[in-house]
Amino acid sequence: MKTLLAHGASTAHIGRGSWPATCWDDPTLQQSQAQRDKKTMARKIHRIGIIGGSGLYDIEGFRGKKWVTVKTPFGKPSDQFLTGKLAGREVAFLPRHGRGHRILPSELNHRANLWAMKKLGVHWVISVSAVGSLQKKYRPCDIVLIDQFLDRTKQSANHTFFGRGIAAHVAFADPICEELRQLLLKSAKRKKAAVHDGGTYVNMEGPAFSTRAESVTNHKLKYDVIGMTNLGEAKCAREAEIAYATMAMITDYDCWKTDEAHVTVEMVIENLTRNAATAKAVLADVIPRIPKTPADWPCHSALENAIMTDRKVWPTKTVKELKPILEKYF
């Protein structure tokens, strides 16, 4: 049986300082994983979250639409959430930059967005995101189902729910949920989309696009796509034990490819509009194929053995703030 790692247990040096080698035997934590899973499964709603452009939710068959406001301890999410049913499944759409595209990438409140998703009973999140291509083989209007990130932001403190008296370190070697990514890959192929399997997403901060020197460097380093938004979402989703995958929609060649026009806002919008139908078709195909309840996917138990702080000293205020995320470990 796995339990939370605890401050004060015996330690062994394994590379990043002294880490606990044994588990705390407080009986309040001695619930079996099956018991915790049963408690989680008792929730009636298991929603699928979609984060993307504000027109993405205009999908045929999306019924019972209702805009829902969610208050969070981390401030306001990007917008209200549009809930409803699609292909027989409960879904929640979030316009990433707000309706009317009001929020810069560096202003996105990823903690609020993902906390609210968790509060709404979301267990899977599909991100649909505009990106620039860093390699010739990825053409505008192609889809890249990335499997890695490179962080070039200065936002790490805003990409975690933890701190304020509770320390946790989730595994992030594989930042994308592979099970969800494979479902998206199969759906994209069924819809005859120009889809690429795997790739590294360079997350820059923006809001300006890359300099040519930056873009050429990323190209020479063999990275695949570049964007401004998805890393923070993926980190917060992992901590919230939400399966997360990205549909990276190619809109341009950034500016490394000198025989092509460099990226502009007009170019991004034009190619996103061209590719909107494909994105909607893939979403409509994949949603009914996602498990009806959280499956035995590693992302759904990411906090097991990740919390370092002794349960006895968890601050009451922090526990209250993180209740949707931590409650199965109470």
Q: pTM of the full predicted structure?
A: 0.86
Burial readout 267-302 (b: 16 or more C-beta within 10 A, e: otherwise): bbeebbeebbebbbbbbbbbbeebbeebeebebbbb
Helices 265-286 & 178-190 angle (0-180, nearest 10): 100
pLDDT, residue 260, reads: 82
What integer pLDDT is reported at residue 263 of this predicted model?
Answer: 80
Buried/exposed 161-176: b ≥16 CB within 10 Å, e otherwise:
bbeeebebebeeeebb
In a 13 Å sphere around the CA of 314, the CA atoms on its Cβ side amount to: 22
Which pLDDT score, from 0 to 100, does residue 20 have? 35
Q: Are 247 and 285 in contact (CB under 8 A)?
A: no
E strand or H helix that includes residue 184:
helix 178-190
pLDDT value at 14 more than 60: no
Mean predicted lDDT score pLDDT of the chain: 87
Which of 79, 224, 254, 285 is an active site residue? Answer: 254
15 has a pLDDT exceeding 80: no
Q: By the 8 A CB rule, do 307 and 329 touch? A: yes
**How many Cα neighbours within 13 Å face the side chain of 189?**
9
- Residue 77 is predicted with a pLDDT of 98
Provide the β-strand partners of residue 246.
127
CA dihedral 212, 214, 215, 218 (to 10 degrees): 160
- Each domain of the chain, given as residue ranges in start order, spans 129-325
pLDDT of residue 7: 34
Token code pair at residue 91: 């879904």
The one catalytic residue among 252, 259, 296, 310: 252
Q: What is the mean pLDDT of residues 72-80?
A: 98
pLDDT band at 90 (very low <50, low <70, confident <90, very high): very high
User: Taking 70 as the threshold, does the pLDDT of residue 167 lie above it?
Assistant: yes
**Res 56: pLDDT:** 82
Cα separation values, 22 from 15, 31, 32, 259, Å = 17, 17, 17, 59
End-to-end, the C-alpha distance of the chain in Å comes to: 16
The rounded percent of the chain whose pLDDT value lies above 70 is 86
Can 142 be counted among the known catalytic residues?
A: no
The reply to whether 252 belongs to the active site is yes
* pLDDT tens, position by position, 18-48: 333 333 334 444 445 545 554 544 446 899 9
**90-104 mean pLDDT:** 96
Please tell me the total number of residues recorded for the chain in this structure.
330
Tens digits of per-residue pLDDT, 193-233? Answer: 999 999 999 999 999 999 999 999 999 999 999 999 999 99
Asked whether the beta carbons of 317 and 71 are under 8 A apart, the reply is: no
Does pLDDT of 13 surpass 50?
no
Average pLDDT over residues 102-117: 97
**129-325 in CATH: which number?**
3.40.50.1580
pLDDT at residue number 273: 81
